[in-house]
């Protein structure tokens, strides 16, 4: 009676163990796996059409192997093998051979002499024993995949007999690169915005390629780690690959305005970067070229208007790359805003105004949708405002210098008398900055905190007023010393 009651209990225990932990590893046999690489998880199984990539082959479970052979195919047929390389100490005394017949890559791994064995003494995640160099055929659709399939897999033991059972573990080859989510050959603003939307579960539902490309660390999750990686990569200098991007129609527009550095000026000055958008601005990317100039640009400083946004920047080869976005989906409202200031140190006095040249600018609204982006060094000849405008000075509060920008619209008489003046809180005139006729255009003037006699005024609140015809516009500024 005691023995018969023990057997059902043992069977029940084994059933519970298998149910909880699966079949023990000793009953699983050997596995040969198509791998992306154990050392660099994002090294293999992807490449752009026309580019080269790697496919790793990994042996799992402990084994002592005299030889390995298998066939590898891709569906659709899109890969051309260029060579095979043995990997690691275990396969150091082996040589890999290959041949491709149609879409099937045939591989053979043999010892250099009959005494050598391939000894794998670790368990999962296994050991990469060789890599296959492939080229993605030109014309392969970017942002798509191919299913990689192992077949006719054979492992031989030291007696030259087959090792059984052997399980083939297949995988997927991606036609793209990590972080290039929208597939345009470079990581830029729109990849960052799309990754943010995916992380926040915003529509549309991501495609399989988008989710793979957004997952930069291959942990199966789209998190701040991936967003930060994309932001950092977007400001690294690089050349876009020759790809056919997935086109998306622009919605809305944004105009970027950045005033010149005043002539006959040396020292430090903050140059405001202003935008006028027709839709909420979810992100902005710019590259400013100051190479060969007699001034140096420091890292941008966010204004209060953009304080909820995140900004990254990088200087290289005289160019400053900037990316601004809301990592929680924040946006700059439609309309006019000063987003950030560029601290500039002018090292040598210029006879003419200094120009900070914008050589690239991208802007995006909701859904990682591009906006028509207008940028350049604006002047009365290139921009015709629709009405008189007076913008908030920047920086504000300020210590040494601040910039004040105003718009003059196109008028029948061609020019109009314009005054821009500074007043104290009692209404007394402190400084007249502008007092002459102006054509239509946008103008930026500098005030260094001095009065009409050249003396610096004290800390406090002041008003600046634009007067033109019957238009009077007033704003407040503050000096802090």
Residue 261 resides in a domain: yes
171 and 39 both lie in a single domain: yes
> Which token pair is 115?
């005494």
Is residue 384 one of the residues assigned to a domain?
no
Number of structural domains (the chain) is 4
Considering the domain architecture, whether residues 475 and 415 belong to the same structural domain is answered as: yes
Pair 100, 77: CB distance under 8 Å: no
Per-residue b or e along 83-94, where b marks 16 or more CB atoms closer than 10 Å to that residue's CB: ebebbeebbeeb
CA nearest to 86, candidates 102, 53, 66, 110: 110
Instruction: Indicate if 333 and 398 belong to the same structural domain.
Output: no
Q: Is the predicted pLDDT of residue 20 greater than 50, yes or no?
A: no
Which CATH number do you get for residue 463?
2.60.40.1930
Q: What is the mean pLDDT of residues 178-191?
A: 90
pLDDT, residue 248, reads: 67
Checking if the pLDDT of 366 tops 70, the result is: yes
- Cα dihedral 351, 352, 353, 355, rounded to 10, equals -110
Q: Using N-to-C axis directions, what is the helix angle for 224-234 and 189-199, rounded to 10°?
A: 180
Evaluate whether 134 touches 77 at the Cβ level (below 8 Å). Answer: no
- Pairing relation of β-strands 30-35 and 166-169? parallel
Residue 171 tokens, joined: 């995988």
Classify residue 54: in a domain, yes or no.
yes
Q: Is residue 1 a part of any domain in this protein?
A: no
Tens of pLDDT along 214-249? 998 888 899 999 999 999 999 987 655 455 454 567
pLDDT at 4: 41
Predicted local confidence at residue 40, as pLDDT: 53
Strands 372-374 and 253-257: parallel
DSSP strand pairing (104-111 vs 67-75): antiparallel
Residue that is last in its domain, among 374, 409, 428? 374
**Mean pLDDT value across the chain:** 83
pLDDT attached to residue 164? 84
pTM (2 d.p.): 0.68
Percent of the chain with pLDDT over 70: 86
- Whether 102 and 158 share a structural domain: yes
**337 and 423 together in one domain:** no
Q: Specify whether 227 is located in the same domain as 291.
A: no
Q: Are residues 262 and 152 in the same domain?
A: no
pLDDT score of 151: 96
DSSP 148: E
Domain co-membership, 459 together with 399: yes
Q: What is the CATH number of the domain that holds 369?
A: 2.60.40.680
Q: 13 in a domain, yes or no?
A: no
Inside any domain, residue 447: yes
155 within some domain? yes
Predicted confidence band at 10 (pLDDT cuts at 50, 70, 90)?
Answer: very low
Q: What is each CA distance from 397 to 236, 336, 414, 461, in whole angstroms?
A: 33, 19, 35, 9
The tens digit of pLDDT for each residue in 75-131 reads: 999 999 999 999 887 788 889 999 999 899 999 999 888 766 666 665 556 788 899
Whether 277 is in a domain gets the answer yes
Same domain, 163 and 219: no
* pLDDT tens profile 320-345: 999 999 998 899 988 888 899 888 88
358 and 446 share one domain: no
Same domain flag for 163 and 78:
yes
Same domain, 35 and 149: yes
pLDDT (0 to 100) of residue 379: 38
CA pair distance 234, 230, nearest whole angstrom:
6
What's residue 162's pLDDT? Answer: 87
Please give the residue range of the domain that contains residue 446.
389-479
Predicted confidence band of residue 312 (pLDDT cuts 50, 70, 90): very high
Task: Give the containing element (helix H, strand E) for 478.
Answer: strand 471-479
Q: How confident is the model at residue 372 (pLDDT cuts 50, 70, 90)?
A: confident
| Mean pLDDT, rounded, for 364-384 | 70
pLDDT digits (tens, 9 = 90+) for 417-432: 999 999 999 999 999 9
Q: Residue 126 has which token pair?
A: 């296994």
Task: Give the residue from 137, 153, 175 where a domain finishes.
Answer: 175
Res. 393: pLDDT tops 90:
no
129-170 pLDDT tens trace: 899 999 999 989 888 999 999 999 999 888 888 888 889 999
pLDDT digits (tens, 9 = 90+) for 436-454: 888 777 787 889 899 999 8
């Amino acid at each position: 009676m005691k023995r018969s009651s023990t057997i059902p209990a043992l069977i029940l225990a084994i059933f519970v163990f298998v149910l909880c932990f699966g079949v023990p590893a000793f009953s699983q046999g050997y596995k040969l796996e198509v791998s992306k690489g154990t050392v660099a998880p994002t090294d293999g199984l992807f490449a752009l059409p026309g580019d080269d990539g790697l496919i790793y082959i990994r042996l799992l479970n402990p084994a002592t192997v005299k030889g390995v052979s298998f066939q590898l195919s891709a569906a659709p047929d899109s890969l051309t093998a260029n060579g095979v390389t043995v990997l690691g100490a275990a396969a150091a005394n082996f040589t890999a051979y290959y041949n491709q017949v149609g879409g099937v890559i045939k591989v053979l791994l043999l010892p250099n002499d009959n005494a050598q064995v391939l000894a794998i003494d670790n368990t999962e995640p296994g050991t990469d024993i060789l890599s296959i160099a492939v080229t993605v055929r030109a014309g392969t659709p970017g942002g798509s995949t191919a299913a990689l399939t192992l077949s006719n897999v054979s492992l031989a033991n030291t007696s030259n007999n087959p090792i059984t059972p052997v399980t083939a573990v297949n995988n997927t080859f991606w036609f793209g690169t990590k972080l290039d989510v929208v597939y345009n050959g470079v990581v830029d603003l729109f990849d960052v915005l799309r990754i943010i939307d995916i992380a926040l579960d915003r529509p549309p539902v991501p495609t399989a390629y988008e989710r793979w490309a957004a997952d930069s660390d291959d942990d199966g999750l789209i998190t701040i780690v991936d967003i930060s990686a994309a932001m950092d990569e977007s400001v690294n200098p690089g050349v876009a690959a020759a790809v056919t991007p997935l086109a998306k129609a622009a919605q809305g527009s944004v105009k970027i305005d950045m005033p010149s550095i005043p002539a006959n000026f040396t020292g430090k000055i903050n140059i405001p970067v202003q935008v006028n958008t027709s839709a909420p601005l979810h992100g902005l990317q710019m590259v400013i070229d100051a190479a060969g100039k007699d001034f140096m640009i420091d890292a941008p400083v966010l204004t209060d208007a953009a304080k909820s946004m995140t900004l990254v920047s990088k200087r290289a080869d005289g160019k400053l790359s900037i990316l601004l976005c809301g990592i929680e989906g924040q946006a700059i409202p439609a309309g006019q805003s000063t987003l950030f200031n560029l601290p500039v140190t002018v090292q040598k006095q210029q006879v003419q105004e200094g120009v900070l040249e914008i050589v690239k600018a991208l802007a995006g609204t909701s859904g990682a949708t591009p906006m028509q982006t207008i940028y350049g060094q604006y002047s009365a000849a290139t921009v015709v405002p629709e009405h008189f405008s007076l913008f908030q000075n920047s920086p504000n509060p300020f210590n040494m210098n601040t910039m004040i920008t105003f718009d003059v619209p196109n008028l029948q008489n061609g020019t109009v008398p314009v005054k821009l003046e500074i007043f104290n809180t009692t209404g007394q005139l402190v400084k007249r900055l502008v007092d002459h006729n102006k054509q239509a255009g946008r103008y930026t003037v500098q005030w260094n905190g001095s009065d009409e006699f050249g003396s610096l005024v004290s800390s406090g609140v002041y008003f600046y007023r634009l007067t033109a015809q019957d238009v009077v516009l007033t704003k407040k500024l503050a000096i802090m010393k």
